[in-house]
Structure formats: structure tokens, C-alpha cells
Homo-oligomer: A and B are copies of this chain.
Amino acid sequence: MAIVGAEKKQAAKPSLDVLHGLVKNDLAAVNRRIIEKMQSPVALIPQLAGHIIAAGGKRLRPMLTLAAARLCGYGEGERHCALAACVEFIHTATLLHDDVVDESLLRRGQESANAVWGNQASVLVGDFLFSRSFELMVEDGSLEVLRILSNASAVIAEGEVLQLVTTNDTGTGEEDYLEVIRCKTATLFAAAAEIGAVVAGRPETEQRALADYGMNLGIAFQLIDDLLDYSALQAQLGKTVGDDFREGKMSLPVVLAFARANDEEREFWTRAMERMEQEEGDLGQAIALLQKHGVLDETAARARDYAVRAKQALAVFADGEIRAAMMDAVDFAVDRAY
């Protein structure tokens, strides 16, 4: 079977390639639908939305919906494509609002929408995409999908507010941090995968299994993202490093390092991340402290734990190329750290 060869090849360096290959046609349909549905007589809306949507990103979340639907045997129709577009709209709306909240001027190596068109337009176009997403769900007509994605949207907003509250607060604990990333990131991964089972009309056990898969994958994914923000590897890839540090965001590496810090180190973290009095060389000092306490490795180990759980969640499904590719996606999310 050709796919076994592909799996073996992937085993060396996990990637999204196999999964991407399996849902390629569906994903093209999703992209067409996104372009079509972001149109508006108000020209600034497709301009701004097109800027952030065209900038790419991996389309990981809509891919989860597509893959989950296929895993559940969904064969006919394009409902999974329509709903995958809804998921990407919600994600894009949160990115637009995130960049306003974080005052980010860059997104995926390009100028952010707020840098080009201002905060006002970014807030409002985010609102538009969000609303449009619900319009498309209503067109699809599944109250269960609407329930899952409206709940996910509220939880995402809660996570974003919680992150805002914990920013610059060195009193943030591990559980607070995990709650933030569960809400702001993993919930949409979970919802994206879960609705694949809903369109396929599969029983609740499979729906729950996919939600579980997405939730654990999302947590692993965000843990690695947070680790990479302090990583030399990320710098080698030409991506910025230290964004979280400069914003005073209490991600797991810092939470762990602060818990283990001596008095002098605590004063460093408090000055740099709570009082936000940052000096030349502070990022290097922060990375040195994270390494000293081994918390980057520990963050990676936690991510691997969640990755294992994500893969275990798929055990209720029969083995096959889609399931294998979805497991590969988990490995990809974690192996970015190495």
C-alpha cells in the first residue's frame, strides 16, 4: 500500500504533508468558499480579510474538520468544506482581534492588518468575519454544529480575557496558564475536529473522541508555540523570538522558571515581565534562566504527553490512512520543537 511508504518517510520528520495530500481537494474547495464568502459591497472588508487570509497559515483548523469528516466516513456533499470555512473565519476573526490587543505589527512575517489599515478596521472586519461565520453555519442548518462553535467562540473570548489578566502577573500558576491555552487555542481545535463527526452523523462516542483529539492536539500545539518563542531554532527559521517576553505574557516556560527561581532571578522576572522595565540583553538572560532550570525541555515533555493523549483518542476509529495522517499531524505539532 503506497501510504505505508509515505508513513515511513514521514516517520523520520513528521509533517502535515500526508494529511494535506489526503484533503487537498477539499481544502481547495474550502479556500474557494472562503474567498467567496468574505466578499461584501464594502470594499475594505474583502481587502483586509483577503490580506490576512491570503497570508496563509497552515489552515490547520479547517484541515482538522475535513480530516475528521473523512475519518468518520463522510462521503457525499460539501458540508464539511462549508463548515471548515466557518472554522477558519472564526480563527481569522480572533487573529485580527489578537493583533489589535497585542499591538502586533507583524503576522506571519508580513505587516499585520492593523499595521496597514489601523485597529478600528481590524476590530470591525473581525466582527464581520465572525458574524459571517454564523451566517454560514445557519445555511448549513445543523443546530449541533452551531452549539459547538458558538460555545467554542465564547470560550475563546474567555481565554483571551484570562490571558490579558495573567499578562504581567508573575503570580500566574501552571493551572491558570493551562486554562488560558485550553480556552484560547485548544477549544477551537476540539470544535473543528468534533464537527467532522457531526456532519457525518456519527454517534456521540466518536464525536467525543474527536473533540478529545483536537483538545489535546491544541494544547500540545500551543505549548510548543510558546516554547519556540524562546528558541534558537525559531530564530534560525527567520521567525521572531521573544514576542511573549516583550509583551510580558506568562507562558509555561516562564511560569515554571519563576516557580524555581532564587530571589535574584525573581527580581529579574518581576522587573522585566511585571513592571515591564526591559533592558538590552534581557531576552538573552531570560533564555539562559529557562535553560538553567530545564523548563524548555519540560515544556516539550508536557507537549509530548498531550500528544500521546491526542493519538490515544483516535483509538476508537479503525486504522487507515486518514487516521495515520491525523496522528502524523500530532507528531508534526510537537516535533517542531526539535
Interface residues of A (CB under 8 A from B): 40-42, 44-45, 94, 97, 100-101, 119-121, 123-125, 127-128, 130-132, 134-135, 137-138, 141, 143, 146-147, 150-151, 153-154, 156-158, 160-162, 164-165
Q: Please state if A135 and B154 are interface contacts (CB–CB under 8 Å).
A: yes
Partner of A158, one of B42, B150, B164: B42
Residues of B within 8 A of A132 (CB): 154
Residues of B within 8 A of A146 (CB): 134, 138, 146
Q: Please state if B157 and A124 are interface contacts (CB–CB under 8 Å).
A: yes
User: How many copies of this chain sit in the oligomeric assembly?
Assistant: 2
Partner of A134, one of B100, B123, B153, B161: B153
Q: What's the nearest-Cβ distance from chain B to residue A165, in Å?
A: 6
Q: Please state if A42 and B165 are interface contacts (CB–CB under 8 Å).
A: yes
Closest to A45 in B: B161
Q: Please state if A131 and B143 are interface contacts (CB–CB under 8 Å).
A: no
Listed A/B pairs (11) with beta-carbon separation below 8 Å: A42-B161, A44-B164, A94-B127, A97-B123, A119-B119, A120-B164, A128-B157, A128-B158, A130-B130, A131-B150, A131-B157
Q: Please state if A135 and B162 are interface contacts (CB–CB under 8 Å).
A: no
Partner of A123, one of B101, B156, B158: B101
Q: What's the nearest-Cβ distance from chain B to residue A118, in Å?
A: 9
User: Does more than half of chain A's interface fall in helix, strand or loop, or is it mixed?
Assistant: helix
Residues of B within 8 A of A131 (CB): 150, 153-154, 156-157
Q: Please state if B158 and A135 are interface contacts (CB–CB under 8 Å).
A: no
Residues of B within 8 A of A45 (CB): 158, 161
Q: Please state if A100 and B127 are interface contacts (CB–CB under 8 Å).
A: no
Closest to A155 in B: B131
The residue among A119, A138, A146, A147 with the most chain B CB atoms within 10 A of its own CB is A138
Residues of B within 8 A of A138 (CB): 143, 146-147, 150
Residues of B within 8 A of A135 (CB): 147, 150-151, 154
Q: What's the nearest-Cβ distance from chain B to residue A279, in Å?
A: 25
Q: Please state if B127 and A157 are interface contacts (CB–CB under 8 Å).
A: yes
Measured between alpha carbons, how far is A165 from B41 in the docked complex, in Å? Answer: 12
Measured between alpha carbons, how far is A125 from B143 in the docked complex, in Å? Answer: 24
Q: What's the nearest-Cβ distance from chain B to residue A150, in Å?
A: 4
Measured between alpha carbons, how far is A41 from B150 in the docked complex, in Å? Answer: 17
